[in-house]
Structure 1
Amino acid sequence: MSPTMVAYGYLAVAIICEVIGTFFLVKSEQFSRLWPTLIMAVLYVISFYLLTHTIKTIPLGIAYALWGGLGIVLTSLVGLLFFKQSLDTAAIVGIAMIVSGVVVMNLLSNSVGH
């Protein structure tokens, strides 16, 4: 497997850990519940650790754009599905703009390691 594919694998797991960690951030109730707080902290550490491995191969700006952009989309879905939080039209348009920016960077930028 190529180093770029491994880096994208690390990035995918980093994003998933960050999103699940954010789920537990809400469940921690402002760090007043021990187990959700510990789970959140462990997942965030794993996420950042994997992000450090990602940026050995993928440029920092690209990796962070993907990590942040996909994290926003997935975290919004978690809020919608698990916490019954709604998104208004402006929020949906804003998220779509973030996704569009990430897509443009990945498809058109020469900075991305394909």
Structure 2
Amino acid sequence: MTEPRDVNAGETPGPAEWLTLPDVAERLDLGISKVHQMIRDRALLAVRRDGIMRVPAELVANSTVLKHLPGVLTLLHDAGYNDQEALEWLYTEDDTLPGSPAAALAGPRATEVKRRAQAAGF
């Protein structure tokens, strides 16, 4: 896995809150190595922000990763998106959802987000 570049505030649309990888491990009740594995497997999205790998907090709901997130990340990766581009796609506002795809993943529009991620490759 290539080392992600640092994402600076204001540079890209993004979440309001970020979690460090140890915070994610604690929230998911997993070891830090398992969190790293989830990132490598594209089951979870992390980007470097202020020199530290961080995960958008809303992608980790309660004590689990959002159900459809791994599928969406796989579809975006298969379409040629890198982690930074996937973050931008997830957090770009879409009036037809409404909101961003990341916000829609937590609700009844998750299947629509997956359909759109699949279409992104064509």
Structure of higher CA gyration radius: 1
**TM-score for the superposition, normalised by structure 1:** 0.26
**TM-score for the superposition, normalised by structure 2:** 0.24
